[in-house]
Structure 1
Amino acid sequence: MAMLDDFRPVAEVTADERGRVAIGKAGATKDDRYAVSTNADGAILLTPLVSIPKRELLVWENDELRASLFRGLADAAEGNARALSWVTADDDEDAEDE
């Protein structure tokens, strides 16, 4: 069987009675998620992935919005941001002012 570029053997494992294979020796840890792909030869490729909430998908689909968000985060990291009282106001503090 031909190895894919940049892949190296890590361990030999046996599937259990439910078809599960432990991949801890390959570096997998609890709650890691993977996309699973197979080819005609039966090779299985696990690609690490991270799931995000659907409401955040817009940021990754819109290049302009993502660039703006990253600029804002960079500005905040450099100390070039300021709190906006109408955004950061706490409702409890408003009640105390009355």
Structure 2
Amino acid sequence: MTTLEGFRPVAEVTADERSRIAFGKAGVHKDDRYAVSVNDEGAILLTPLVSIPKRELLVWENDELRASLFRGLADAAEGKIKRLDWVTANINADADDEDE
């Protein structure tokens, strides 16, 4: 058996009666997500991935917005922020939302 460049053998596994294969020996954990690719020779490549809500996609597509967000997070981590009371002046954080 040949291995692709950068890959190393980890284990030999057998598919169960429902064609499932356990990948625990390869370091896969519960709820991990992977993109699955197959080449013409039948080699299977699992690429780890993370899903994000569509509403957050804008941050990853817009370099300027992402840079601004990271600057804001860095400022917050360094304590360089101040409270903007006018933003939350009419919001009661302890009240239950009846509209939800």
What TM-score bracket applies, with the shorter chain setting the length?
0.7 to 0.9
Which residue does 2:16 correspond to in 1? 16
1: CA distance between counterparts of 2:49 and 2:20? 19
Note if 1:47 corresponds to 2:47. Answer: yes
Q: Give 3-state SS (helix, strand or coil) of 1:92's partner.
A: coil
Is there any run of 5+ residues in structure 1 with no aligned partner, and where? 94-98
2: CA distance between counterparts of 1:90 and 1:6? 56
2: CA distance between counterparts of 1:10 and 1:56? 36
Which residue does 2:4 correspond to in 1? 4
Which residue does 1:29 correspond to in 2? 29
Report the CA distance shift for 1:90/1:10 in structure 2 as closer, same or farther (over 3 A): farther
Report the CA distance shift for 1:2/1:88 in structure 2 as closer, same or farther (over 3 A): farther
Report the CA distance shift for 1:6/1:90 in structure 2 as closer, same or farther (over 3 A): farther
Note if 1:86 corresponds to 2:83. Answer: no
2: CA distance between counterparts of 1:16 and 1:86? 60
**Root mean square deviation, CA, Å:** 1.5
Is there any run of 5+ residues in structure 2 with no aligned partner, and where? 94-100
2: CA distance between counterparts of 1:89 and 1:35? 45
TM-score, reference length from structure 2? 0.85
Q: Give 3-state SS (helix, strand or coil) of 1:6's partner.
A: coil
2: CA distance between counterparts of 1:90 and 1:26? 52
Q: Higher helix fraction: Structure 1 or Structure 2?
A: 1
Q: How many residues align?
A: 93
Deviant stretches of 4+, over 6 Å: none
In the TM superposition, residue 90 of structure 1 has moved relative to its aligned partner by: 6.2
Report the CA distance shift for 1:89/1:23 in structure 2 as closer, same or farther (over 3 A): farther
TM-score, reference length from structure 1? 0.87
